[in-house]
């Protein structure tokens, strides 16, 4: 009886095509994981700006700006049902001479893939306040207890 010796195939890691395909697969997996982790990042505004903010300006009587850790809600009329609420997508905080400038980007649910931006300066002190970047003359102060402003 004749014995034939079989040579075992070379290890897969020696085949350049296999090595290339494994590297491509690893790269794709890395991109997918990084993208998924970026999308799942929870954005939370700092507690210093979280709350319900009102102004004494007659132009905004009965209105409020409600900033949550992950949301921004605008009370646009004197009724508590006149609200638009948005999820915060990202924010930037920069220290400026007059306080902390916040640029908050939020998802605008009314239009697919649309975003809105609100910019305000937060001022610390005995009575913390906000000033919207486009309305520097109107000061908003935090209302104790939270919630939307009533009629």
Element (H, E) at 58: none
Q: Which pairing describes strands 51-55 and 139-143: parallel, antiparallel, or unpaired?
A: antiparallel
pLDDT along the chain (151 residues), means of 10: 62 55 51 48 86 92 89 81 86 95 87 85 93 94 63 41
Residue 151: its pLDDT value, please?
Answer: 41
Question: Considering the entire predicted model, what is its pTM?
Answer: 0.67
Residue 35: its pLDDT value, please?
Answer: 45
The dihedral through the CA atoms of 144, 82, 139, 70 has a sign that is positive
Residue 114: its pLDDT value, please?
Answer: 82
Residue 145: its pLDDT value, please?
Answer: 43
């Amino acid at each position: 009886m004749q014995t034939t010796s079989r040579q075992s195939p070379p290890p897969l890691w020696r085949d350049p095509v296999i090595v290339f395909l494994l590297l491509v697969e690893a790269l794709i997996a890395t991109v997918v994981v990084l993208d998924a982790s970026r999308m799942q990042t929870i954005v939370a505004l700092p507690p210093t700006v979280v709350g319900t903010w009102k102004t004494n300006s007659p132009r905004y009587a009965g209105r409020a700006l409600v900033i949550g850790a992950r949301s921004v809600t605008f009370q646009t009329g004197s009724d508590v049902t006149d609200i638009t609420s948005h999820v915060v997508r990202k924010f930037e905080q920069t220290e400026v001479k007059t306080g902390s400038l916040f640029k908050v980007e939020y998802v605008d649910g009314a239009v697919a893939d649309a975003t809105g931006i609100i910019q305000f300066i937060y001022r610390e002190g005995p009575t913390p306040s906000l000033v919207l970047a486009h309305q520097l003359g109107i000061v908003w102060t935090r209302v104790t207890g939270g919630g939307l402003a009533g009629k």
